Amino acid sequence: MFTDACLNRLARRDWLFHGPLSQLIDSYICKLERLRYARGTVGAYLRCLAHFSYWMRRKRISASDVDEALVEHFIRDHLPVCRCPEPCRSVVSEMRAALHHLLALPFFADAVPTTAPDPIARELHKFHEFLRDTCGLARSTCVYRVRHLEAFFASCTLNESAESLILTIPAVEAFLTGLARRHWKPSSLGVICTSLRSYLRFRALHGDDTRLALSTMPLIANWPHRNPPKVLSDIQIERFLQAFDINTASGMRDYAIARCILDLGLRGDEATHLTLDSIDWRRGIVTLQHTKSHRAQRMPLPEQAGAALARYLREGRPQTDSRSVFVRHRAPFGVPLSVAAIRNAMNRAFARCNLDDQFCNTHVLRRSTATRLQRTNVSIKEIADLLRHRSLNTARVYARVDIERLREVALSWPGSTS
């Protein structure tokens, strides 16, 4: 019934029914209905889909050929110069959202992607599998390391990169020098060097002798910890927490997120993947399954964070089959909040309490947690354990936060009278 009502109001029904996407219309509408989109939104997305289907038919493209690259080509190359008959929907934001839901259908999820035939693409694909499966790195880390390697290969001549795919020091130095001339920061160049070292280790596992290349990889001079980390004071934290309207459902949700980050030191991605099964209410334990190290970690649930979570789950969370704790309160309902959505919620709170000129994003809350612990004489080892740092060096930056205590242990300058 819902499907018929949406299609009856569509001016270009023939573009859908006589196009390459005709077999997917019912499942597409059912998916939007399941996500509780409003009828007007479903209609707008169908008009976008009709436009895409008309373009595919003219280009003689079948449904099995649809992928992210084709969608991006349609949006970037066709829409700016579109001459399709009116009326057709061409709003870029709506088109991107509509085609995103199309690619999420099982028809495309079950498709097996083909591997590009050129040797560089195959090498990048193997390197990505190594980072993901062998190293167990996060998806975002795998993506940017592959991109760095791809940019390096692009800076080489075709013969060098296609034949050997080996990193030579002159080529690396020329690549980094070119980026430095384009005003890349030393910290960014250091990250690229880390990506290239990771690739050399990958080649070593395949039998290449990379010891000389690893030992002569350029070291980027950088002093990232010359200043103490930027954190919120106790007064600023109180102002920040009072910026949430806990009388509304979304306010309860955002307040619970803020408490989890402040009290548990969660990363934004860890808050996104927090599920109902992660919380043991009887024993007061939270189990983090989706951590940066890909290892499950158990943590005590603080009283204030637990109270905020309990109130949100009882009074604010919408009815949904999703097991994620923090979900969208607008269509698509029941979808877990993304990291970007959590970050935006915290940024809006900073703006409401007039702290947005000093702080942004979620990581400052995590740093503030570590600073508060350090000021209460908690050891660096305990802070590293709470923040789930695998190296103590990562947490030692917080030893420089308490300036007054550092003055007590500082030695007198040679030749001074005090």
**pLDDT tens, residue by residue, 152-167:** 888 876 444 444 556 7
- pLDDT band at residue 408, thresholds of 50, 70 and 90? low
Helices 139-155 and 119-129 cross at an angle (nearest 10°) of 150
pLDDT at 63 over 60: yes
Mean pLDDT, range 72-79, rounded to an integer:
88
How many other C-beta atoms lie within 10 A of the C-beta of residue 395? 21
What per-residue confidence (pLDDT) applies to 7? 66
Gap between the Cα atoms of 398 and 149, Å rounded? 33
pLDDT reported for residue 113: 46
Helices (H), ranges, 137-267: 139-155, 158-163, 169-181, 186-205, 211-215, 234-241, 249-264
| Alpha-carbon span 134 to 297, nearest angstrom | 20
pLDDT for position 317: 92
Nearest to 189 by CA among 177, 198, 207, 199: 177
What sign results for the dihedral spanned by CA atoms 145, 112, 336, 29?
positive
Strand pairing partners for 324?
275
Q: How many helices (H) and strands (E) does the chain have?
A: 22, 3
Quote the mean pLDDT of the chain: 83
Q: 279 forms bridges with which residues in the sheet?
A: 286
Look at strands 297-300 and 279-280 and give their pairing.
unpaired
Pairing outcome for strands 285-288 and 297-300? antiparallel
- 36-65: average pLDDT: 88
pLDDT tens digits, one per residue of 107-128: 766 554 444 457 888 888 899 9
